[in-house]
Amino acid sequence: MKLEGKRILILGATSGIAQEFGRQLAERKCRLFLVARNEERLNVVESDLRARGAETACLAGDLTDTAKHAEVLERAWTAFGGIDLAFVAYGVFAECDAAEEPETLLRLLETNFVSAAHLTSLLAKKLRETGGKVAVITSVAGDRGRKRNYVYGSAKAGLSIFLQGLDHKHAGNGLRIVDIKLGMADTPMTAHLPASPLKVSARQAVDSIVAGLERDQTVIYAPRMWRWIMLAVRAIPRPLMNRLNF
């Protein structure tokens, strides 16, 4: 799928990755429907994308509220007479001890898996008749359970399996479900983490995402080096893994 001029729904439009994705789409003269929770930040993002050449419309709303999902999608479809690509790019992150607090644990699971799966299912139903793509950001953290981020990782792993099954269900009918396994990117979500040689800019990550979408990949590691890194991590025997501190 070439992205030039496409009608694209960006859910979680104020996230660091979504903003960079929107900028690259603006260069391609896409029509963008933007959804995010914080209306003030959303308006800033929309103004920036319009200045870069995109035709835009936006809606402020909390995407963790599953009862509002159908309304959000109806607004998006009405704005441009349909959608060619939906990009699901919202989520929350916490590490280690903080993630084990009951309230935080539930928030991680409900935001990163439950609401995202529900929204993706509705998107698939709307797009299955016209064809198109649903692209969802998961994480390389879902490829192997690790003590540092296993709650976040398990939510993303569950979402990856959900996407895999949904893609299998719709194989052959023109609808593609894309799992974007994001590695460590320099965004506000990861700003508090220690510096790492593996952390890349948001632009580098989005370059991989755009290239993967245009090549019609159904699993995209962003950036691509994470495919090989996680292949090695998954191969570590559990007894050895349990002696490692990462």
Q: What is the 3-state secondary structure (H, E, C) of the chain?
A: CCCCCCEEEEECCCCHHHHHHHHHHHHCCCEEEEEECCHHHHHHHHHHHHHCCCEEEEEECCCCCHHHHHHHHHHHHHHHCCCCEEEECCCCCCCHHHHHCHHHHHHHHHHHHHHHHHHHHHHHHHHCCCCEEEEEECCHHHHCCCCCCHHHHHHHHHHHHHHHHHHHHCCCCCEEEEEEEECCEECHHHCCCCCCCCCEEHHHHHHHHHHHHHCCCCEEEECCHHHHHHHHHHCCCHHHHCCCCC
Rounded to two decimals, what is the model's pTM?
Answer: 0.94
Q: Which domains does the chain have, with CATH numbers?
A: 7-241 (3.40.50.720)
Q: pLDDT tens track of the chain, all 246 residues?
A: 899 999 999 999 999 999 999 999 999 999 999 999 999 999 999 999 999 999 999 999 999 999 999 999 999 999 999 999 999 999 999 877 788 899 999 999 999 999 999 999 999 999 998 889 999 999 999 999 999 899 999 999 999 999 999 999 999 888 999 999 999 877 666 556 555 667 789 999 999 999 999 999 999 999 999 999 999 999 999 999 999 887
Look at the alpha carbons of 49, 55, 59, 64 in this order and tell me if their dihedral is positive or negative.
Answer: negative
**Can you tell me which residue has the tokens 């009405």?**
78
Residue pair 45/54 in contact by the 8 Å Cβ criterion = no
pLDDT at 31: 98
The one-letter code for the residue type at 3 is L
pLDDT at 187: 65
